[in-house]
Every structure is written in structure tokens, then in C-alpha cells.
Structure 1
Amino acid sequence: MGIRNVLRIGHPALRKCATEVPDDWFGSERLQQLIDDLFDTKSACSGAGLAAPQIDEPWRIFVIGMGHNPRYPDADPLPERVLINPVIKAIGNEVITGWEGCLSVPGLRGEVKRWQRIHLKWQDREGAFHTEELKDFHARVVQHEKDHLDGVLFPDRLTIPLAFGFTDELQVHGRIPELSI
């Protein structure tokens, strides 16, 4: 299928809790096609990550990864990976505040608190389990995408309602840095 349509805030599929990817999908062409569509769509939209519910697929899977991204000019690159049936646990109590955007909430940004460090457990495309500790921007992206699997969008997590607006307005008024796109 390739590049898919990204659902926007207001579409009911974005508010549903996704279903775990079944065991018999691992290693299948069906799963690989979904993974390919997620990566193709994420890349076409200059996203840092994309979750299956955002392309109207009700499964607990998302992809992340980026080199230099014009939407996140100050962010370090993220390795490309597929995270299936992920589970996240906070490490400690420290949270960090940062501005987030979303392909399903186009043109808007908001300030959101996220755990600074997380423990992540997930399965890869073959079904093998992995664990890793993440921090800072990498942890933020994973938490953001995992929220999509639970029907949560970043505006639900705003620090305060005033920390939300159109990207270009926030830039003009010095709230966020200029983006390349």
C-alpha cells in the first residue's frame, strides 16, 4: 500500500485502545506490509514516529526513527525501529517538559510533561522480546507513540491550556524555535 492517510484529531479511531498484535502475525507478510506502510507514511510526513491507529489500523504497533528532521531541528537522531506490543514503566519520578507536535494534530504544538527516563519492553517483527532504558527525547517519542495505542493524544496531556497553539504563531512569538518546514 505504501503511504497511507494519517487520521486527524476528531476521528473516532484515534480514541480507541488498540489490540495486541497476535502471535501468528509475527514473521508474516501481513505484519511486514503494515510495518512498511508505517515507515513509508512516517517518512513522507517527516514524522519522528507513527502508530498504527493513526493510519486506521487497530494494532499495538508503532515505528520510530529519524535522522535530521526539520520538524525537530534540535533533536538528536533516533534509530529506526519497530515496537510491537510495547510496555513502558517510568524509571524514577523525574519528568521533563517539552513541546510536542503530532501528525494527527497538524499545525499545532503543545507543552507536555513526560517521564525523563523509561524502561521499555517490546517485541520485534519476528516476535522476539527486547528491553531497553531510554531517556530524554527518545523516551518522549516512545511515550507519545505509546499513548496513541491507548487512545490518548498529546493535547490530553498539556501542562496548561495556554501552552498550546498553532506552530507558526508560537514561533512568531518566541515560544518555540523556528522549524525548517
Structure 2
Amino acid sequence: MAILKIARMGHPVLLDRAAEIEDVGAPEVRRLLADMVATLKDAGGVGLAAPQVFAGVRLFIFYVPEARAEGGGAMPLTAVFNPVVTPLDEAIELGWEGCLSIPGLRAAVPRYRQVRLRGLGVEGEAMDVVLEGFAARVVQHEADHLDGVMYPMRMRDFRYFGFNEEMDRNPVPLPEEVL
């Protein structure tokens, strides 16, 4: 396993739609997955999409740590090949997001509260799960990377965008309603 370099905002690999994966068991796909796991652990994030490590394929990994778990509890590290994310209703909420491809910054981003995640799991098995809260937010964020969308493109009010250190020193509460 290798720790891969993470593409930063501005690199074209982050703006393209990623290609479907034909064979989740192919050696190069298994190697990419192992390297993505090592990279995510090294970077300290909760999710990573293949385009973020310069691989233009539809794969992301994510987990939900106990400290961020809501209702459904923590989730172990999960790989999703060729994911499809579908909102289950119109409920949207603002939440803070950061991104390994936009280091040092975070913003308030509107996301659907509850989504269905379909795709293929690590052994090629069909996956169909309903997620809400933080888990739903992470999955939407990572799926966006597969379509060339970064979280600033989802923002509605740039007053809620800033450097982590400044926002830690001067916390800004999120507005009650979605912007």
C-alpha cells in the first residue's frame, strides 16, 4: 500500500466526470483501493474519492467515526464502486464541510438530510443502504467528486466559508434556515 498524493482544487482531474469501473476485482482496482485506504488514514479525513488521488474512476471510501455518528451510529470504513446517490425527500440542511482537496478551509454546504446509496461493495456485491445526517453528507460530498463537483460549487452564501483556524477562534453559527 502506498500513500498517494491528493489533488488540490484547481487540478482538472477534480472537474471531470469519472468513468464506471468495469471489474471491481481487477488487480489495478484492488491496488487503487488499498492505496486510497492508506491515504485516507494518513490524511485523517472521513472520505476520499478516486479523482482526489488522480484516478478518474467511480470509487469512493468513507466512514463515520463514533464522535460524528447520529442515530444510526458509527460506520466502518466502506468502499463503494459505481455509486448512485438518490435523495429520499426534499429535506435539506446546512452543515460544515471540509475537503482533503481544499486543505485548511471549511464552509456551510446544503445537503439532503436522507439519501439512498446504491453501488457495489468491496467484493462486487450489490449495496443498497439508506443514510441520514453526517453519513448522508459525507456520501453526497464524495459522490460529487465523481461528477466533477466540489463543495464550493454547492455553497449559497460565502459568508460561511473560511480558514479553519479563523473559524475555530471566531465560531460562526449556522443560520436556522437553509440559505
TM-score, length basis structure 2:
0.90
| Contact kept? 1:31, 1:125, Cα under 8 Å | no
> Which residue of structure 1 lines up, in the alignment, with residue 14 of structure 2?
14
Change beyond 3 A, Cα 1:66–1:44: farther
> Which residue of structure 2 lines up, in the alignment, with residue 107 of structure 1?
104
Q: How many residues align?
A: 169
Q: For 1:94-132, what per-residue CA distance to the aligned partner results, in whole angstroms no more than 9, with x for missing partners?
A: 011101000000000010010000011110233221101
Q: For 1:29-87, what per-residue CA distance to the aligned partner results, in whole angstroms no more than 9, with x for missing partners?
A: 2211111011110110001000000000000000012536xxxxx51233211001000
| Contact kept? 2:57, 2:146, Cα under 8 Å | yes
Between 99-108 and 153-162, the greater mean CA deviation after superposition: 153-162
Distance (Å, rounded) in 1 between the aligned partners of 2:12 and 2:25:
30
- Aligned match of 1:80 in 52, 77, 82? 77
- 1:174 Cα deviation after fit: 1.4
Between 93-102 and 76-85, the greater mean CA deviation after superposition: 76-85
1:161-180 matches, cutoff 5 A: 161-175=158-172
> Which residue of structure 2 lines up, in the alignment, with residue 157 of structure 1?
154
> Which residue of structure 2 lines up, in the alignment, with residue 65 of structure 1?
63
Distance (Å, rounded) in 2 between the aligned partners of 1:110 and 1:174:
12
> Which residue of structure 1 lines up, in the alignment, with residue 177 of structure 2?
none
Distance (Å, rounded) in 1 between the aligned partners of 2:64 and 2:85:
21
Distance (Å, rounded) in 1 between the aligned partners of 2:133 and 2:112:
8
User: SS in structure 1 opposite 2:55?
Assistant: coil
Distance (Å, rounded) in 1 between the aligned partners of 2:75 and 2:161:
25
User: SS in structure 1 opposite 2:141?
Assistant: helix
TM-score, length basis structure 1:
0.89
| Contact kept? 2:19, 2:58, Cα under 8 Å | yes
- 1:175 Cα deviation after fit: 2.1
User: SS in structure 2 opposite 1:162?
Assistant: helix
| Contact kept? 2:87, 2:114, Cα under 8 Å | yes
Runs of 4+ in 1 over 4 A off after TM superposition: none
| % identical aligned pairs | 37
Contiguous gaps of at least 5 residues in structure 2: 174-179
> Which residue of structure 1 lines up, in the alignment, with residue 176 of structure 2?
none
Contiguous gaps of at least 5 residues in structure 1: 69-73, 177-181
